[in-house]
Amino acid sequence: MVVLRKLPGMPGWPAALGLRLPQKFLFLLFLSGLLTLCFGALFLLPDSSRFKRLFLPRRATASASSSSSASSSSASSSSTRDTDLPRSPPAAAEPRHASPAAPRRLREKLRTAARMAGPPARTAPGSRQQVQGGESRAQPASAAPPARETRAPFRFDYERFRRSLRHPVRGGRSGEDPETRARRMKIKEMMKFAWDNYKQYALGKNELRPLTKNGHIGNMFGGLRGATVIDALDTLYIMELEEEFQEAKQWVEKSFDLNVNGEASLFEVNIRYIGGLLAAYYLTGEEVFKSKALELGEKLLPAFNTPTGIPRGVINLGSGMSWSWGWASAGSSILAEFGTLHLEFLHLSELSGNPVFAEKVRNIRRVLSRVEKPQGLYPNFLSPVTGSWVQHHVSIGGLGDSFYEYLIKSWLMSDKKDSEAKKMYDDALEAIEKHLVKKSAGGLTYIAEWRGGILDHKMGHLACFSGGMIALGAQHSTGDRRQRHMELAAEITSTCHESYTRSDTKLGPEAFRFDAGSEATATRLSERYYILRPEVVESYMYLWRLTHQPKYRHWGWEVVQALEKHCRVEAGFSGIRDVYSTTPSHDNMQQSFFLAETLKYLYLLFCEDDVLSLEDWVFNTEAHPLPINHTDLKAAGQA
C-alpha cells in the first residue's frame, strides 16, 4: 500500500493523526474493508460492463457486450463458425447507452430503434431472421429475450423443420399396383449396381470409369473428391438403400477433405456438393452434412468479390483467388452459373443464421433485375466488372438453363413470397414464348437459340428440362395462361421424347436440330453422344406428377430399358458416343449426376406423389431436394 509508506522527513499520516499502535491496527482494518467494498461495488452495480471490460479478458466479455458488429459476418474468416458467434446479437440487444437506470419507455424505444436499424451479423434462436424468399424479417419483439441474458450460439431447429413438412419424406406407401412397384424396384437395383461398382473401383474419386474399372478425378471440383458420394447420398436415402447410405455417410465423416487447393467451378461445387450435403442434412438431420456444407459455402464467398458482386466462374478453394473461364468472352460470367446459386445460398443462411450467403445472391438478383434485357431476353454472358451483357446469345439450354429454373423455384421455395422472382420468371418466359418457341415443319414444338436476333434452330439435351419447369410454373397460373403453359410443357416434353425415339438406341443425342430437313435429330457427328443425362426423364417426372397421364411412365420405362441395353456394362453404367449406332461405343464414364438425377427422377416417376412431395420440396438443378419454407405453419407456431 504505497500511500501508507513513510516518506523521508515526513511522519506517516496515521501517526500524524496521533494514533497509538492498537488504534493504528483498527484504523488499517477499517480502511482495507472500505477499499474492498468500493472495488466490489464496481462489479455489483447494474451498469458495470464497461468496468468489466477493463478487467476481464476480451472473449469473456462477449456476452456482456451488446456491440457485436454486422461486419463480423464477412465471408473471409473461419471466425464465422457457430462456435465463435457473438452471444448477444445486436438486433435484439439493447444499445450500449441504454442503462437500466433509463426510464422503461425510453429503453423500449431504444430497443425498437436497434431492431429496425438492420439485420445483425448473426441471429440467436429468439430473434431468428427469415432468410428465405428474398426477405429478411425479424421475429416479433416478444420473441426476443432480455438483452442481458446469456444466449446460446445460433442453432437451426431441425425438429421444428421436420414438423413443418406435410408429408413423410419417403411417402406413406399406399395405393400402388404391382407393375409400378416392380419397375421402381428395378430402378433401385440399377442404383445399387451403380453405387456398388463406384464403391469397389473408385470410392473417393469423383466418378467411376466402368470399363477400365478405376476412378476419375477431373478438374472441375478444385481438388475436392467424392463427387459421386455426395451426389448419391440423397438418392440412396430415398431408395432406402440403408447400408449403402451408411457407407456414403462414413466416407463423408472420415475422408471428405475440404482443405484443398485447386481451381473449382463455383457452379458445379454449389449444385453438386453444397446441394448434395444440404439435401442429405435436411433428409436425415445428421450434423456432419450441415457442417460440411457451411464450411464449403464459406470457401466459395471470395468469388463474389468483384465490382458488381456478380461472382466469377472459377475459384481456387485454397487461396480464394477467382477468375473467369478462359472460354467466356471478355472475362464474362455465365448466366446459368451465377444464376444458379440462389436456392442453396438461402439455405446456407437459414442453417447458419449468417445472412452473408443470402446477401450475395440477393445482390445478383438486384443486378439482373436492373440491367436492360434485349427484347426481354437474358443473354448468357455478363461482365462481373460493369454489370452489362457481353454477348447477345440467349439459350434455355446450356449457359442459360438453370437460371430460369431457379427463378420459379426460388418463388416456390419461399412459400410464394418472393414475388420478384416470380415476376422475373413470368417476364422471361413471355419473352421466350414470343421470340424462341417455334414449330417445325413436322409439327414439333421446340425452343430455338438466339444469337443477336438470329435464330439457331437447335435444342440441346440440356434444354429438355424446360418441359418440367414450365409445367411446374403453370400450376400457379390461372385460366388461359395456365392452359397455354401446360400445353407448351407437354409439347416440348413430347419433342424431347421424339429425339429419343428417333434414335437407334432410344436414347437422345446431346443436341438435335430442326433445319435442313431434320426433325429432332442430331445432324453433326459431334452432337450424337449421350452421357447419361437426366433432363428428359426429369420432365417426364414432373409431367407425370402434374397430369398423371400414363404415357410419361411408359416413356420413362423405355429409357430404363435403353439404359440397361446400351449403357450397362460389367462394372457400372457408361455414356455412349453415338445414339444412332446399334453397337455403340462407350465413353467409359459413369457421371455423378446419373446417380443424383437420372436414377432419382426415374425412381420418383414410379413412386406415389408423396415421396419427396412437390408440396414440401424443390429440387435443385442437380435434383437435390431442398425444403420449401412453410411460413404459414411457422407463423402459426405449428411447426
Between residues 491 and 622, which has the closer beta carbon with respect to ligand DMJ?
A: 622
Beta-strand (E) ranges in 116-260?
207-209, 214-216
Q: Which of 268, 420, 510, 538 is catalytic?
A: 510
**CB 399 → ligand DMJ: shortest distance, Å?**
10
Looking at 119, 534, 556, 625, which residue binds ligand DMJ (CB under 6 A)? 534
Task: Please report whether residue 622 would count as binding ligand DMJ according to CB under 6 A.
Answer: yes
Task: Report how many residues bind ligand DMJ under the rule CB under 6 A.
Answer: 8
**CB 405 → ligand DMJ: shortest distance, Å?**
8
Between residues 68 and 402, which has the closer beta carbon with respect to ligand DMJ?
A: 402
Task: Please report whether residue 530 would count as binding ligand DMJ according to CB under 6 A.
Answer: no
Task: Please report whether residue 313 would count as binding ligand DMJ according to CB under 6 A.
Answer: no
**Other Cβ atoms within 10 Å of 77 Cβ, number:** 10
Distance of alpha carbon 422 from alpha carbon 582, whole angstroms: 45
Between residues 302 and 468, which has the closer beta carbon with respect to ligand DMJ?
A: 468
Residues 6+ away with beta carbon under 8 Å from 28: 4, 14
Looking at 593, 601, 603, 619, which residue binds ligand DMJ (CB under 6 A)? 593
Task: Please report whether residue 402 would count as binding ligand DMJ according to CB under 6 A.
Answer: yes
Name the residue with cell 446441394.
275
Between residues 390 and 596, which has the closer beta carbon with respect to ligand DMJ?
A: 596
**DSSP H or E stretch at residue 569:** strand 568-569
Residue 168: DSSP 8-state: -
**CB 593 → ligand DMJ: shortest distance, Å?**
4
**CB 632 → ligand DMJ: shortest distance, Å?**
31
As to burial, measured by CB atoms within 10 angstroms (0-12 exposed, 13-18 middle, 19+ buried), residue 304 is buried
- Angle ∠(587,592,598) on CA atoms, nearest 5: 90
Show the site string, 551-590: x = touches ligand DMJ by CB under 6 A, - = not: ----------------------------------------
Distance of alpha carbon 98 from alpha carbon 108, whole angstroms: 9
Between residues 66 and 402, which has the closer beta carbon with respect to ligand DMJ?
A: 402
Distance of alpha carbon 349 from alpha carbon 357, whole angstroms: 6
Name the residue with cell 405449428.
638
**DSSP H or E stretch at residue 512:** strand 511-513
Show the site string, 119-158: x = touches ligand DMJ by CB under 6 A, - = not: ----------------------------------------
Question: Which 221-280 positions form the footprint of ligand DMJ (CB under 6 A)?
Answer: none
**CB 287 → ligand DMJ: shortest distance, Å?**
27
**CB 634 → ligand DMJ: shortest distance, Å?**
30
Do the Cβ atoms of 347 and 292 come closer than 8 Å? no
Distance of alpha carbon 87 from alpha carbon 121, whole angstroms: 11
Terminal-residue alpha carbon distance, the chain: 63
Looking at 312, 533, 545, 566, which residue binds ligand DMJ (CB under 6 A)? 533
Between residues 461 and 485, which has the closer beta carbon with respect to ligand DMJ?
A: 461
Residue 405 annotated among the catalytic residues of the structure: no
Tell me the three-class secondary structure of 582-629, residue by residue. Answer: CCCCECCCECHHHHHHHHHHHHHHCCCCCECCCCCEEECCCCCEEECC
Task: Please report whether residue 624 would count as binding ligand DMJ according to CB under 6 A.
Answer: no
Looking at 380, 445, 621, 629, which residue binds ligand DMJ (CB under 6 A)? 621
Q: Report how far apart, in Å, the C-alpha atoms of 439 and of each of 428, 458, 585 are.
A: 19, 12, 33
Q: Whose CB is nearest to ligand DMJ?
A: 621
Show the site string, 450-489: x = touches ligand DMJ by CB under 6 A, - = not: ------------x---------------------------
Distance of alpha carbon 333 from alpha carbon 325, whole angstroms: 8
Contact positions vs ligand DMJ (CB under 6 A):
402, 462, 533-534, 593, 597, 621-622
| Residues labelled as active-site residues | 510
